[in-house]
Amino acid sequence: MARAIAEAGIPTTLWARRASSLEPYADTPARYAETPAALAAASDVVCLCVVGDDDVRELVYGETGLLAGMAPGGTIVVHSTIHPDTCRELAEKAAPQGISIVDAPVSGGAPAVEAKSLLVMVGGEDADVARVRPIFESYANPIVHLGPLGAGQVTKILNNLLFSANLGSAISLLELGETLGVPRDKMCEVVTRGSANSKALGSIAMFGGTLDNLAPIAGGLLQKDVRLAASLADTAGAVQGKVFDAADAALAAMGHPR
């Protein structure tokens, strides 16, 4: 995403926790900042790509955080998948400084970025979203504005809940097929070309028909997101139904029980 922004001709400054993370951008026109505050001081829009709520807070708050360096009129974009309440908390802290928050979790991974077809799920005020849309357009299509701040997070969390549930259903199917005498690789070959195909099954097939190799990559992240979905459901008084059961089965199979 950072490369796409820089190569689109948008003046770009980068910061990362590890210096090695910046090495791949040496051939781009991007500059580097020493701290999040310095990054914010050099930017009118800052895009955050970190894992969880506490990571976002760590980068936004404090003496060297983004709010310490950003000028009024700036916008912080949260690409991380976090609780929508955290986005609203950030907005309350940022508003007195004239800084806006947009939540914009993404889906699609590196191949989608390279094809400029990353899916961006956006929540925020119309004017704020319009301001950052040209940046999103350097790496994303579609860009879906879902509503007020937090709406992007709700949608991404529910997307990942269903993906987890689909993983659980798919692995159960493969286990059943194996019991009935159909090898997993053959079942994957058939179903990935048939009407029952899914992104989840395709991911399992890519990693040999089990969740063993997928778990180190996705297990912890999906565990986080299913927990977020459960929190949202509890707050809304919604029943955690079969979609959670299937998601829990996948998490347990990956060694990351909810």
Active site residues: 156
Task: Name 241's Cβ contacts closer than 8 Å, sequence gap at least 6.
Answer: none
How far apart are alpha carbons 255 and 249 in whole angstroms? 10
Terminal-residue alpha carbon distance, the chain: 30
Q: Which two tokens stand for residue 48?
A: 């955050």
The 3-class secondary structure across the chain, one letter per residue, is CHHHHHHCCCCCEECCCCHHHHHHHCCCCCEECCCHHHHHHCCCEEEECCCCHHHHHHHHCCCCCHHHHCCCCCEEEECCCCCHHHHHHHHHHHHHHCCEEEECCEECHHHHHHCCCEEEEEECCHHHHHHHHHHHCCCEEEEEEEECCCHHHHHHHHHHHHHHHHHHHHHHHHHHHHHCCCCHHHHHHHHCCCCCCCHHHHHHHHCCCCCCCCHHHHHHHHHHHHHHHHHHHHHHCCCCCHHHHHHHHHHHHCCCCC
Single-letter amino acid code for the residue at 11 = P
